[in-house]
Amino acid sequence: MSLAKKLSTALNETRLLILGAQVLFGFQFRGVFQEGFAELPRHSRYLDCISMLLMVTAIGLLIAPSMQHRIVEEGEETRRIHRVTTVFAAVALLPFGASLGMDVSVGVERIGGSRAGLLVGSVLGVLALLLWYAFGFAVKLRRGEPIMQDEEKPTPLSTKIDQMLTEARVVLPGAQALLGFQLTVTLTNTFQQLPESSKYLHAFALCSVALTIVLLMTPAALHRIGFGGEESRSFLSMGSLFVMMAPLPLAAGISADIYVAIQKAAESSTIGIWAGAAAICILLFLWYLQPLAIRKKLQHSKAA
């Protein structure tokens, strides 16, 4: 399989994972505002807070390869970006699985009690690790195939454009689902009981995610309306800029709603602030600071 095909497959697989992560995060956020949430024991509410932060970490890890592809490689197909996509997707499964197990534990506890919740959540988490990691490594060892170094070639313009649009599609469906959850939360009675500051912060988060959707849809609209579907380097440059800009308001929106949800769940503004700050630091590091640092390092290496 060629390097181009491998990278395209990796991006499509990431697309499946990020959609699930963002939808689950939306459910987690919405769950805090359900009437039954206040009846949960304190440890379950804290577990839900940890679960949300883990899912945010998974989202950050899954979007990071696309940002490195835009910022570091400028759309070129390289062995490094294929390796990065594989590693980040594999690492993201760990917080994803842990968060999933915690969510199931909280849900089952509501039905069968604390012991049942802990048992089922733990079994599911261990099963996820076995299937996602142990099974995969076992198959890899059994195959015993040598790793082939794919030849790096200049990436055709058409491929760069296709991958740029694919990277927009990686984030877009999940952002749209998250916006839907954010909108429905405003219609709950629990939301109306929040402090005014939390309501305004949620409005900011809602607008931020909506802006992300607008930015991610702009390249496709620009390609159809402005360029008539023609391949153009100027379109690639403009489209890449929109794709790189879109995660910034998404990070702001997710972090703001992390504060709103965790402040409500933990009944502590201090915990909410620390959680929101942690979320924005994780996302900005993975999506912007790390890619820029890698780009600068590679430029220095080439110049030396």
The answer to whether 181 touches 215, Cβ cutoff 8 Å, is no
b (16+ CB within 10 A) / e for 212-238: bbebbbbbeeebeeeeeeeeeeebbeb
Structural domains counted in the chain? 1
The answer to whether 133 touches 97, Cβ cutoff 8 Å, is no
Query: What is the structure's pLDDT at 24?
Result: 85
10/6 Cα distance (integer angstroms): 6
Query: What is the structure's pLDDT at 20?
Result: 80
Q: What is the pLDDT along the chain (304 residues), one digit of tens a residue?
A: 566 677 777 777 777 788 788 888 888 888 888 888 888 888 888 988 999 999 999 999 999 988 998 899 888 888 888 888 889 988 999 999 999 999 899 888 888 888 888 899 899 988 988 888 888 788 878 776 555 556 667 778 888 888 888 888 878 877 888 888 888 888 888 888 888 989 999 999 999 999 999 999 999 999 889 888 888 889 999 999 999 999 999 999 999 999 999 999 888 899 999 999 999 999 999 999 999 999 988 888 777 6
Q: Provide the domain limits for residue 290.
A: 3-303
- The maximal CA–CA distance of the chain, rounded, in angstroms, is 64
Q: How many CB atoms lie within 10 A of CB 262?
A: 29
Query: What is the structure's pLDDT at 77?
Result: 80
Tokens of 248: 């910034």
Query: What is the structure's pLDDT at 153?
Result: 74
AA letter at 218: T
- Cα separations in angstroms, 273 against 85, 176, 180, 190, 230: 31, 25, 24, 20, 47
Nearest to 126 by CA among 108, 100, 103, 107: 100
Q: Calculate helix-pair angle for 247-266, 233-245, nearest 10 degrees.
A: 10
Query: What is the structure's pLDDT at 75?
Result: 81
- Cα separations in angstroms, 196 against 14, 126, 179, 199, 267: 37, 41, 20, 5, 15
Query: What is the structure's pLDDT at 25?
Result: 86
Query: What is the structure's pLDDT at 293?
Result: 93
139/186 Cα distance (integer angstroms): 47
Q: First vs last Cα of the chain: how many Å apart?
A: 33
Query: What is the structure's pLDDT at 117?
Result: 87
On the CB side of 73, CA atoms within 13 Å amount to 25
The answer to whether 136 touches 13, Cβ cutoff 8 Å, is no
Evaluate the CA torsion angle 12, 286, 281, 100 in order and state its sign: positive
The answer to whether 182 touches 29, Cβ cutoff 8 Å, is yes
